[in-house]
Amino acid sequence: MKMVLFDLGDTLEAHGVLLPGARETLEAIAAMRDGQAQPVALALVSDFYMPTRLEEIPALRQQYLDVLDILGIRAFFEPVEQRVTLSTEVGVFKPDRRIFEAVLDKTGGELTWHDIIFITENREHVEAARGLGMRAVHFGGPGQLGGEVRDLRDLTRLVEEFLDIPTARALRRRQRATLVARCPLPADRRQAWAAPAGTLAVSWVRLGDETLLLTDQSDWVDVTERAGRSASELEPLRSVPQRERLHLVVQKGRLFQQEHPEVPVLHDRGRFLVVDLEPDEAHRLGQREDPCWAIEPLGENRIVFLERERTSLRVTPQPAIQAVVDRLSRERFEADLEHLVSFPTRASTSAHYTAAAAWARSRLATHYLTRTETIEVEGRPSLNVIADKPGAGLGTRSVVLVVAHLDSVNHRGGPAARAPGADDNGSGSAGLLEMAWVLGEQEYEHDLRCILFGGEEQGLLGSRQYLAGLPEAERARIRAVLNMDMIGVHNTEGSRSVLVEGAALSRVLVEKLEQAALGYTSLAVQLSFSPFASDHVTFIQAGIPAVLTIEGADSSNAAVHSEHDTLDRIDGELALAILRMNTAFVVTELGLRGSV
């Protein structure tokens, strides 16, 4: 047996988000066999928090494993007791020889240095590993200027060479067909973060109140027996020739399906699709500048999004926060949204966008210090609108950002075509204006900054240029970023719902928003740690905790990015409920001073 040893941070993930190709690469390596037909051992060695007391080690180790669960990659490194080594438990950081020796010790003498290939973005650690006799690969991770490998997918060739198995790729392609079945998830199992399929001897992928079961078994009787379910509760969806054809699409509206109706959809949950695609074709379709969709390997034993049951969770609202929340007005929100939609388009470089930005700035000027920031969109100028309300706290203050994108787009009609953008993103922009109006009437410990970004539809340009121009000291002050993008269309059956989307580094914010929803609204809550396609991603990629609040994801608004994204589709009660949740969260983060 041989081992492929990975660093985690900036090698497989960055700021709580898997790097492109990470899951695909892990799946490919996990499927390999060496010359003796033995599986490859996948392992991790990471610098993590150092304990101040020995009793802290178990909790810190569990915190690291929670990150692997959120990323959806823990299953690749089981059993974690033997395959995950942390500085936390060894007491030294890489490149100290002792942490690598701990990796070797966990193999029980089965491996030597020469049986291990180590992959990391840190050149110093590469040299240390080579000095011990390991094969080591320098990966050109985020911010790296060099690197022997720039794309994680290219690692498979190097690992094949290390294992001396040039036919590994051909062997993978001879995998048995994978069967996919849908399994409803009982309400009492929806609270768990992991293991939603219990002890099944099959792989699983969790999507809200359902679990997809993946198995190479062709006998569904055997599957149902192991699942403890009747055959009627397990609905076979499709058989695919190789598991590597299964991909997850995260889309805006129905944009992926509208542009690629030929791609077979195995499971449809609106924002999230499970599709059947050849890996090379999936990679090709995923290469685009504008954030309309993202495609990644489906993987296994992961949670795409979590759906919470309200019945077993209780949150008591605080009277002072409730008083602020109660000042929100559906009438003001709808009036602002109607005005935004009255512009023929809010295309980022159009005169109509400039007029909409000037109007929004005038609305914010009542309670805030306002300014505009010039950005570049496709070689032409556009604007971000920024409004600041300083806090009243003494000493160093943090800042909370409430953001939305102001621009709209009509992909089918072009830049001059009508693009009302009622949901995408008139709803989020009008929501920001309404929150700003109510929040602006109070005093807080910390600073509040509201930003309407331009150029989002062309690749998050407004938020990327804003952050690129922000001094490091100002970045460090950011306490939380709340993004609103599409909060107005009721996509789910029954209860109105909201999807709260973040990454591992923003997990605390996601949970606080869930608490706000439970305390101040009747919303059903969906939680996701697969950030995609809106301005919160810009901040997450920079290591800043950020979250997106968006309408629930069981279906999707198929009218976005067209002339049909109109006011008649908007559910004002849903938008108001999401604003109530968001306002309660922001007031808590800012620290309300005095009474209201």
Task: Say which CATH class 3-173 falls into.
Answer: alpha beta
C-beta neighbour count of 416 within 10 angstroms = 12
pLDDT, residue 279, reads 87
Q: Is the pLDDT of residue 562 over 70?
A: yes
Give the pLDDT score at 183. 74
- Express as a percent the part of the chain with pLDDT over 90: 64
- What is residue 36's predicted lDDT score, i.e. its pLDDT? 72
What spatial distance separates the first Cα and last Cα of the chain, rounded to whole Å? 67
Q: Is 331 exposed, middle or buried (0-12, 13-18, 19+ CB in 10 A)?
A: exposed
Q: Measure the CA dihedral 173/175/181/182, to 10°.
A: -60
Alpha-carbon distance of 87 to 174, in angstroms, equals 39
Q: Which residue has tokens 């002339």?
A: 563
Name the packing angle between helices 572-590 and 507-520 (round to 10°): 120
Retrieve residue 136's tokens. 């080591």
Checking if the pLDDT of 212 tops 60, the result is yes
Mean pLDDT for the stretch of residues 380-397 = 94
Average pLDDT (428-457) is 97
DSSP assignment of 45-60 equals EE--PPPSSGGGHHHH
DSSP bridge pairs for 269:
272
Q: What's the confidence (pLDDT) of residue 266? A: 93
Q: Which residues of 510-529 are buried (b: 16+ CB within 10 A; e: fewer)?
A: bebbbbbbbbbbebbbbbbb
With CA atoms as reference, report the closest residue to 24 among 269, 256, 286. Answer: 286
**CB-based contact 29:156 (threshold 8 Å):** yes
Amino acid at 461: L
- Residues 285, 277: contact at Cβ < 8 Å? yes
- Residue 185 DSSP label: P
337-367 per-position pLDDT tens digit: 999 999 999 999 999 999 999 999 999 999 9
Full DSSP string of 483-544: EE-------SSSS-EEEEE--GGGHHHHHHHHHHHHHH---EEEEE----SSTHHHHHHTT-
243 pLDDT band, cuts 50/70/90, is: confident
Q: Please give, one letter per residue, the 3-state secondary structure of 85-154.
A: EEHHHHCCCCCCHHHHHHHHHCCCCCCCHHHEEEEECCHHHHHHHHHHCCEEEEECCCCCCCCCECCHHH
Cis peptide before 186 (omega within 30 of 0): no
Helix H or strand E segment including 439: helix 428-439
Under 8 Å between Cβ of 514 and 500:
yes
Q: Looking at beta carbons, which pairs linking 169-174 to residues 24 or more positions away fall under 8 Å?
A: 171/31, 171/32, 171/33, 172/28, 172/31, 172/32, 172/242, 172/244, 173/242
* Whole-angstrom distance, CA of residue 351 vs CA of residue 92: 59
Indicate the domain borders of the chain: 3-173, 178-307, 319-590
- Tell me the DSSP string of 206-245: EEETEEEEEES---HHHHHHHHT--GGGSEEEEEES-GGG
Report d(CA 341, CA 427) in Å as an integer. 10
Q: How many CB atoms lie within 10 A of CB 432?
A: 31
More confident residue, 197 or 271: 271
Give residue-wise pLDDT tens across range 509-534: 999 999 999 999 999 999 998 888 89
Structure tokens at 510: 């996601």
Tally of CB atoms within 10 A around 242: 16
Q: Please, are residues 440 and 488 in contact by the beta-carbon 8 Å criterion?
A: no
The per-residue pLDDT for range 124-166, each reduced to its tens digit, is: 899 899 989 899 999 987 766 567 888 888 898 889 888 876 4
Question: For residue 402, which of 415, 390, 417, 387 has the smallest C-alpha distance?
Answer: 387
Using the predicted structure, report yes or no on whether residue 418 has a pLDDT greater than 60: yes
pLDDT at residue 188 greater than cutoff 60: no
Query: Helices 428-439 and 351-364, interaxial angle, to 10°?
Result: 20
Instruction: Enter the tokens of residue 344.
Output: 């023929």
Per-residue pLDDT reduced to its tens digit, 6-21: 999 999 998 888 998 8
Question: What integer pLDDT is reported at residue 320 of this predicted model?
Answer: 95
pLDDT in tens, 464-480: 999 999 999 999 999 99
Q: Cα(153)–Cα(37) distance, rounded to whole angstroms?
A: 23
269-283: average pLDDT: 92
Question: Cβ(27)–Cβ(72) under 8 Å?
Answer: no
| CATH node for 319-590 | 3.40.630.10
Give the CA-trace dihedral at 62, 67, 69, 73, to 10 degrees: -120
Q: If pLDDT is split at 50, 70 and 90, which confidence band does 416 have?
A: confident
Q: Are strands 369-377 and 380-389 parallel, antiparallel or unpaired?
A: antiparallel
Q: Which amino acid is at 306?
A: L
Q: Could you give the CA distance from residue 272 to residue 209 in angstroms, rounded to a whole number?
A: 13
- What sign does the dihedral 267-239-300-289 (CA atoms) show? negative
Calpha distance 75→157 (Å, rounded): 22
